[in-house]
Structure 1
């Protein structure tokens, strides 16, 4: 049977370039990092609830270093992977992990089933994988603003995101013994579209689509800003939602 390559939706080069820029921006005192901080805090709470103390763990995507530091403090041997060097669609170079945590990493790859399969393969028997990604229920005000910017023929400026049902199906395809997908909402208030875009750049969350859209012109950008502010609340702020999906799977 002829094997088919997955469609090329994302650019790994653009994603890595965005991460490099974000790490430079993180050296600034007021750089936003709330999405990753929320993911790390949630993972730590889950591990405490499960009373999980892995002997050998792999942490992918936590450029804060907080999660690895906490795991080492509990006696775990921890490997860390820098997303600037990692190809999420290739097998991991090492294995035998009791725990693999992936943060904000696999949500923007062309072969997500393959990425999950590689993560499962790197687990030891009875090992557990926990992956947190930004899900499809995110950034509705921004999406509305982008449509308003180019009402006649909007360009693709925001990449597709995975929803809960799709994530559950993907975990089954990757042959985890058991799997759970759950979601939660992180709400953040913004005074302007520009503030939101700046925060997304700080956190390497801008578009990494393989086909890059041209910059918005002055008039289109003005329409986007106005449309974004239509969602203002009584405090003159626009509340955006980041839906965080957490995929948890156990290996045989």
Structure 2
């Protein structure tokens, strides 16, 4: 499967290097991954099925695997990550979500915890995930949504516009919830469900937030970004604007993380199917008389 040039937004090699770099101190910055792993596992508890074979896609340090241990009838879990260092930490394998190395119909379950927002060809990646699932296999994922870091994005935009009269991408773009369901359908999934949570975290200042993002391995990898680092003046101006616009009474700044949750099934003949047009047994006129 190839990815067209028009769909190449992120520098995947840079994503890998930044994840590798984050590994040694990741435990100090992994709160969001740990929290969302718990929330994904709670959602899986609502599914009345067991999943003997499972895939943890974009595993980071293995938080999802730790939460799922001993649950949902999982007998074998394969963890993989774009970062070889994270894969090693999670006792998994290095694998790219855009070029999955697994045979068709290998898994009963595929989960992904805050990794898919770095994928260039998301429809293609979702199609490959669906193909790795057995018929009636389940897919459950969390990814960052479009409202994530909107405060930081605004402040960097305004600071750069004032300093240079133009802007470059300083914060990576994220998917919108309105698009997620159609992406699942386009990838061939059945019965897709999409919803979202918004988490607000506070930091002492914008520099503490930037250090956290670096520690998460979640800093900007957009190909169109400026390749030279932001100047100290630009960063200090953005931090000042952040405090002026958003600081709470205690001086701390709020940071928004919007998390999109995607759930869907690999198609199977046993699943509920919509009726074909014209197949209803009650004429429309007769049905309307009752209203």
TM-score by length of 1: 0.92
Q: Deviations over 1:106-132 (max 9, x none)?
A: 211211100000000000010011111
Q: Deviations over 1:18-61 (max 9, x none)?
A: 1011112226xxx2212211210111101122244211101122
CA distance in 2, matches of 1:126, 1:161: 29
Aligned-residue RMSD, C-alpha? 1.7
Moved over 3 A (4+): 3-6, 69-72
Aligned residues: 247
CA distance in 2, matches of 1:78, 1:227: 46
Q: CA deviation at 1:158?
A: 1.3
Specify which of 80, 86, 98 is matched with residue 95 of structure 2. Answer: 86
Q: CA deviation at 1:5?
A: 4.6
Q: Name which one, 1 or 2, has greater alpha-carbon Rg.
A: 2
What does residue 115 of structure 1 align with?
125
State whether structure 2 residue 174 is matched by structure 1 residue 164. no
Secondary structure of the 1:124 match is strand
What does residue 137 of structure 1 align with?
147
What does residue 31 of structure 2 align with?
34
CA distance in 2, matches of 1:13, 1:64: 19
CA distance in 1, matches of 2:262, 2:224: 28
CA distance in 2, matches of 1:173, 1:82: 24
- Closer/same/farther in 2, CA of residues 71 and 191 from structure 1, 3 Å limit: closer
TM-score by length of 2: 0.80
Match runs of 1:1-252 below 5 Å: 4-26=4-26, 31-74=28-71, 75-76=73-74, 77-84=76-83, 85-94=94-103, 95-151=105-161, 152-213=165-226, 214-230=228-244, 231-252=246-267
Is the deviation greater in 220-229 or in 179-188?
220-229
CA distance in 2, matches of 1:249, 1:116: 11
Unaligned ranges ≥5, structure 2: 84-93, 268-291
CA distance in 2, matches of 1:108, 1:146: 21
Unaligned ranges ≥5, structure 1: none
CA distance in 2, matches of 1:93, 1:72: 22
Q: Deviations over 1:75-127 (max 9, x none)?
A: 41111112213221113323421100012222112111000000000000100
